[in-house]
Amino acid sequence: MTLRGASRLERLLHHGVFCVTAETVPPRSADPSAVIAQARGLVGYADAANVTDNPTSSAHMSSVAGAALVHDAGVEPIVQLTCRDRNRLGLTSDLLGAWALGARNILCLTGDPPGAGDHPDAKTVFDLSVTELIGLAASLRSEGRLLSGAHIQDPPRFFIGVADVPLTDPYDFGRLERKADAGADFVQTQIVFDVDAFGAWAERARQRGILERMFVLAGVAVPRGPRSARFMREHLHGVKVPDGVITRLEEAGEDGEEEGVRLTIEIVAKLKSIKGIAGCHVMGLGRMDPVRRVIEGAGLLPRPAVA
């Protein structure tokens, strides 16, 4: 893996720091205060924060605008860009604009199908596949070259990320390897509850050389109780929630969220012990306080001041 140095997250990972990323969600509003508040809540807790792009195919403030707000609030943004909503012109414009506004990391995504969101009749674009989007960002970084073949001055040099669902069945390592071939540098995974199964995936990824090519940040999320855990198991693709997790949350009764925090802290500790896992991506499912409590309880503070 080559260190280019524009992204602080990239520098930390190359220095062997177990990194922490989190998530901000631009509002369904033109009022910036919500995303600013989310970002301020992550200052000192996360090394970088995703800025989601019309999550669950529902209309929100743009991720590029959100990234500028997150950057100004003091957190390094990771701009999510989906192929669902833009053609190659729009994707190129947003790559250039996001860099100009201070973003140094991107997460290239296919995007959820519109039927899952509030505009089910929206037409999908998919002018580029996610692998082609990675290739566009990589060619801008290495050659300053557009898909048209034209060369530009002062191109963006993003640290390029992708998402992955390691515990889906069947799992295809080839898809992740193709993303690495296209130029992806890091991976944020789907939520992990079954650490043993994830550890087995990591061992196979190590054997294939993937952990030498890409930084893997394992996704974790704080369940509010058994109902939340069941929802994730039944509705989130590739999330495996062992029965023992749900039983533990049920037995906690009214203290289900507290137990969810304790459970997530334990999961992070186990993930840290897996050789080659470079960090964790902590999701609060719309709430920031559980994210901070997990980061504190897992002994991940203080975060490095500089890199």
Instruction: Give the integer Cα–Cα distance in Å for 47 and 62.
Output: 22
Q: Locate all alpha helices (DSSP H) within the chain, ordered by sequence.
A: 8-14, 33-40, 63-72, 88-100, 130-143, 173-182, 195-207, 210-213, 226-235, 243-252, 256-272, 289-297
**Do 1-164 and 166-301 agree at the fold level?**
yes
* 265 token code pair: 């802290």
Please give the average per-residue pLDDT across 33-52, as a whole number: 97
Instruction: Give the integer Cα–Cα distance in Å for 10 and 79.
Output: 14
Instruction: Give the integer Cα–Cα distance in Å for 27 and 20.
Output: 23
CATH number of 1-164: 3.20.20.220
**Alpha carbon distance, N-terminus to C-terminus of the chain:** 17
Please give the average per-residue pLDDT across 165-182, as a whole number: 97
Please give the average per-residue pLDDT across 87-114, as a whole number: 96
What are 50-82's pLDDT values in tens digits?
999 988 889 999 999 999 999 999 999 999 999
Query: Residue 108's pLDDT is what?
Result: 98
What are 250-266's pLDDT values in tens digits?
999 988 889 999 999 99
Domain boundaries, the chain: 1-164, 166-301
β-bridge partners, 216: 187, 277
Question: Average pLDDT, whole number, for the chain?
Answer: 95
Q: How confident is the model at residue 307 (pLDDT cuts 50, 70, 90)?
A: low
Assign a CATH topology to domain 166-301.
TIM Barrel (3.20.20)
